[in-house]
Structure 1
Amino acid sequence: MSYINKSVSINGTEKDFIKAFANELTSADNRITCETDIDAEFANEDSSHIITIIFDVSNCYKIKLIRAVAINRATSQYNIQTVINNVDKSSAGLLFLGATKFVTDIATRTFNFMLISNDNTVVMLFSDHNQSLPNAYKYNLMSYHEQNFNIVAYSNSINTIASKSEFIRTDEKHKGEIYKTTNRLLYSRDENVEIIESKPLVQNNIAVHDMKSVYDCSNVTAGSILIIDSNKYFAIDSNTLIKIKE
């Protein structure tokens, strides 16, 4: 399945919840793997230890889920952060409870996440326990994967969707190069939607690469699903459609 809007909620300890979240996230797309032994991470006897769970996405970048405070202190929050080319990027806080709890407390904890993907593209949105996706989110990511061409963009602002942010290349040959996307259609066609069969990546104002299964379109409502010619598309922003793989 390449469209998942998931609320991960479990009544148990914090470790139970994080293991459930990790299982749901890695099950959502086989390109996402968990690098951390979660049992060992929660068994750390150092009272100052900050629990950190690391996910790898297609050997392109990593996602860190970091407990807001040390293991011996109560919290209601984890921070989520992207690591691109071994550099930690800005983070955002994800609340899982309305009140602080210790790791061993039995309570119902919840995160929400959304994943839209196809053969080349992975888009993820993460939100608090009390937010409804895709209307509200705290952190979002978009990556594109092709042989010898891997890029990722991220945003920790509701005002900036990753698809409109700068993309950072992560493959060895051109690591660190910066790309942007551009919309070739900037007008409204009312209820009619026209699709340009690729979305160009721009470097120094020159289109250098077309992303497959990521489409330019006339203005659409972000967060909506469109069915066009029997194909499903998710509008990640007002001018970008991600083809949903059946």
Structure 2
Amino acid sequence: MSYVNKTVSINGTEKDFIKAFANELTSADSRITCETDIDAEFANEDSSHIITIIFDVSNCYKIKLIRAVAINRATYQYNIQTVINNVDKSSAVLFFSSATKFVTDIATRTFNFMLISNDNTVVMLFGDYNQSLPNVYKYNLMSYHEQDFNVIAYNLNSIASKAEYIRTDENHQGEIYKITNRLLYSRDENVEMIESKPLMQNNVAVHDMKSVYDCSNVLAGNILSFEDNRYFSIDTNTLIKI
């Protein structure tokens, strides 16, 4: 179980920065691996080459970090994109500087990300160089993992738990699930945990989520302590144990 709120800030070349970011992201959770040889990617001599760094998350989906322009041109941004069942989904722009920089310039570049995870759930938020997570962010993902059951939700503007979940395991790729059977009520003075867990449901199946809990209304992005346990509030009604 993990909670990481990380600012990656490096004074060096763009390759130095991307390597540092990749190291921090993969170190945050062993289920995240980098598939790209970053040194080789930056050594590409094709002037039209677009640098692309690919991360795999628990064999469930991939994340692409894509430079905005060709390697021979200055930029100050990357696109972050999710690949689900080998299909590129919507992307967001992440700025790493306030001014354009060439790949080889020595400069300070910064990304922010948050990772909140337990045995079954991985939540990630990504932000610009000048954003404070989780208050402001550009892109977020939430995936849920069990043996033979893997789903992923992504969203640009709101926490992903409110979105549709796309199933990625081999036998049921593309099935759509939503969190349902929510128990909503006022919280009065204290946060009260509800014993039942949220459900993933589509038109043919219902799946009970582990280590994810309903609660009374709380502010999204907060960490709560309850009965010697800690929980991260994904949205106003969903906690994951950390």
Q: In the alignment, what sits opposite 2:170? A: 172
Report the CA distance shift for 1:76/1:127 in structure 2 as closer, same or farther (over 3 A): same
- Return the letter of the residue paired with 2:241: K
Report the CA distance shift for 1:191/1:100 in structure 2 as closer, same or farther (over 3 A): farther
- Return the letter of the residue paired with 1:103: V
Q: CA deviation at 1:188?
A: 1.9
Alignment of 1:30-69 (within 5 A): 30-69=30-69
Q: CA deviation at 1:218?
A: 1.2
- Where structure 1 has 5 or more consecutive residues not aligned to the other structure, the ranges are none
Would the aligned equivalents of 1:126 and 1:137 in 2 still touch at CA under 8 Å? yes
Which of residues 211, 214, 217 in structure 2 aligns to 1:216? 214
Distance 1:183 1:133 in 2: 29
Q: CA deviation at 1:203?
A: 1.1
Verify: 1:192 aligned to 2:179, yes or no.
no
Tell me the SS of whatever aligns to 2:239.
strand
What do the CA deviations read for 1:126-166 (whole angstroms, capped 9, x no partner)?
00000000000000000011010000000112xx2101100
Distance 2:74 2:216 in 1: 48
Q: In the alignment, what sits opposite 2:236? A: 238
Q: In the alignment, what sits opposite 1:153? A: 153
Q: CA deviation at 1:67?
A: 0.3
Q: CA deviation at 1:66?
A: 0.3
What do the CA deviations read for 1:186-222 (whole angstroms, capped 9, x no partner)?
2221332222342111213x77011100111111010
Q: In the alignment, what sits opposite 2:120? A: 120
Tell me the SS of whatever aligns to 2:184.
coil
What do the CA deviations read for 1:96-115 (whole angstroms, capped 9, x no partner)?
00000000000000000000
Report the CA distance shift for 1:85/1:19 in structure 2 as closer, same or farther (over 3 A): same
- Return the letter of the residue paired with 2:16: D
Would the aligned equivalents of 1:141 and 1:155 in 2 still touch at CA under 8 Å? yes
TM norm structure 1: 0.95
Count, aligned residues: 241
Distance 1:49 1:188 in 2: 54
Verify: 1:2 aligned to 2:2, yes or no.
yes
Runs of 4+ in 1 over 4 A off after TM superposition: none
Distance 2:189 2:25 in 1: 34
Distance 1:146 1:191 in 2: 35
Q: In the alignment, what sits opposite 2:82? A: 82
Report the CA distance shift for 1:54/1:150 in structure 2 as closer, same or farther (over 3 A): same
Most deviating of 190-199 and 86-95:
190-199
CA RMSD of aligned residues (A): 1.1
- Where structure 2 has 5 or more consecutive residues not aligned to the other structure, the ranges are none
Tell me the SS of whatever aligns to 1:133.
coil
Tell me the SS of whatever aligns to 2:47.
coil
Distance 2:172 2:25 in 1: 29
Alignment of 1:131-146 (within 5 A): 131-146=131-146
Q: CA deviation at 1:16?
A: 0.1
What do the CA deviations read for 1:55-110 (whole angstroms, capped 9, x no partner)?
00000000000001111111010000000000000000000000000000000000
Verify: 1:202 aligned to 2:201, yes or no.
yes
Q: In the alignment, what sits opposite 1:27? A: 27
Tell me the SS of whatever aligns to 2:218.
coil
TM norm structure 2: 0.97
Report the CA distance shift for 1:176/1:125 in structure 2 as closer, same or farther (over 3 A): same
